[in-house]
Amino acid sequence: MLSQSFFPQATTGHFRAIKAPLPNDDSNVVHHTGAVENSNDPQPDLSPQREAICGFFLTLVKQSSPDIVLSEFKNLFIHFFVVQTEPQKAFYKIITSGNEEEFKNTLKRTIYIILNNWIFRRDYKPAQALIELLGNAPVNCCTKSPNLNHLSTWIDNFIKTQDYQEIKLFVAKYDYQQKEHWKNNYTSYLLTSQYANSQNSLEQRQAAKVLSQQLQDKFKLDLAMYTAHSHPDAAQSQRTQNPTFLGDEALELIKKVVSKRSFFSYANLANIFIQQTHKLHYKYFKQSLIKYLFFSVSNQGLVNNLKTKLTEKLETIYQEYDEEVLNKPLLLKTCNRTIEWLTIPRNGEPSSLFIALASQGNPLTLAIILLKLILICPPTRTHLQICMANLIRYYEDYSQEECHWVIKFLEITKIILTIFTENVQYNLVSMEERNLNTSVQEQDECRIFSQQLERKKKYP
């Protein structure tokens, strides 16, 4: 029986109730918050001016064309000359106050208000033009006007900040004038850090979440179209561009994982695990988790070493709750920690487990284990995407050739998550009516068909 091989028997007896809250150290669930205010703002009276400017652009972007919005933005933030309208009067007060932090907050929030609306409408070209306005703004100007000198210096300071780099992510995928960096293929992951950070403004988080989801949906559609039109009989005009860096290996990977579906599919296995650990005490849940993660995983030589190391880590995590019944917050935190051990810890370097698996030709094994974690705790997908973003940032200075093994892991994981967690079902159909599990050669003669299902609940 599956339950006998998966899960240890808990000892009988009474267990104490949880007396202390779980450590609040890592929950990456998106929290709904408003715009972040600077608690140390020396001039709180400037908030009405900020709200006046942001309110003006919120109304403008909903009612006017992108050209008008860009013109108003340029006239106010880039070439500020006259003081006539209410937004201009508000901006003038901010400039003359000498409060650079208030200027930065107003500028950033205005940008995200505009981007949020354009990205929701999939209007990417004006979004790119908006970013270019800032990047091409005159800086370090010496004029007779101290206010214009302030403005020039502040813009120059702003485009050197991480805030500006985060804004550039919103157009990186669509900036075709520059040679695309390999990391731009994973913009959806990089945006996750923005919408998962409760310290960012509501406008920034909304814009990041909408664009991240749009990019994931686009990849899902592109992958389905690519697999549908990549069979040998398809006309050249019908074939769709491969959305991955894997070449023909992408088709081989999909055929390989789809052909292994059975009663013990990853989804069914996850459901069984959830049911059988529902009221298990935490100590025994951790033991069960190891068995679940490595159930039916190939390459036992490598797996045994990985299994031993993960067991050692799980045995020591949150030991104060070993005798408590598993609950959702504890499940989330445990899955988040496990994902970090398998990828990259917070504010750290790639883990030894990640390097061992990904660099030694076993990225599929790692991707499947990560998939299993998400299937038993879907909200942890946000944390996985944050870890993927941290890996990308760690290796972004390397060329595509230098970190090809990292890119391969990212591509395989993206494909695996798309196949098994999205609302598209992939099926492998033999054109010769043969058994799909017989040989690789016969799988080569099969075609991949995809079918859109009723949309599942999205995570995050």
Count of beta carbons in the 10 Å neighbourhood of residue 273 = 24
Model pTM greater than 0.85?
A: no
Instruction: Name the 3-class secondary structure at 90.
Output: helix
> Of 351, 446, 321, 417, whose CA–CA distance to 22 is shortest?
321
> Of 220, 51, 208, whose CA–CA distance to 120 is shortest?
208
Which tokens belong to 90? 């508000």
Burial label for 344, CB within 10 Å (0-12, 13-18, 19+), is buried
**Largest separation between any pair of C-alpha atoms in the chain:** 84
pLDDT values of the chain reduced to their tens digit, one per residue, 460 residues:
344 344 444 333 333 333 334 444 454 433 333 333 444 545 546 788 899 999 999 999 999 999 999 999 998 998 877 778 898 989 999 988 888 999 999 999 999 999 999 988 888 889 989 988 888 877 665 666 677 777 888 998 999 999 998 998 888 766 544 457 888 889 999 999 899 988 888 999 999 999 999 998 888 888 888 887 666 555 555 567 888 888 878 888 877 777 665 556 888 899 999 999 988 999 999 999 999 998 877 666 667 888 889 999 999 999 999 999 999 999 999 999 999 999 998 778 999 889 988 887 788 889 999 999 999 999 999 999 999 999 999 998 888 888 899 999 999 999 999 888 766 665 555 545 545 444 444 445 566 555 565 554 443 3
Task: Establish whether the linkage from the previous residue to 378 is cis, with ω within 30° of 0.
Answer: no
Secondary-structure percent of the chain, ordered helix, strand, coil, rounded to 5: 60, 5, 35
Taking the alpha carbons at both ends of the chain, their separation in whole angstroms is 34
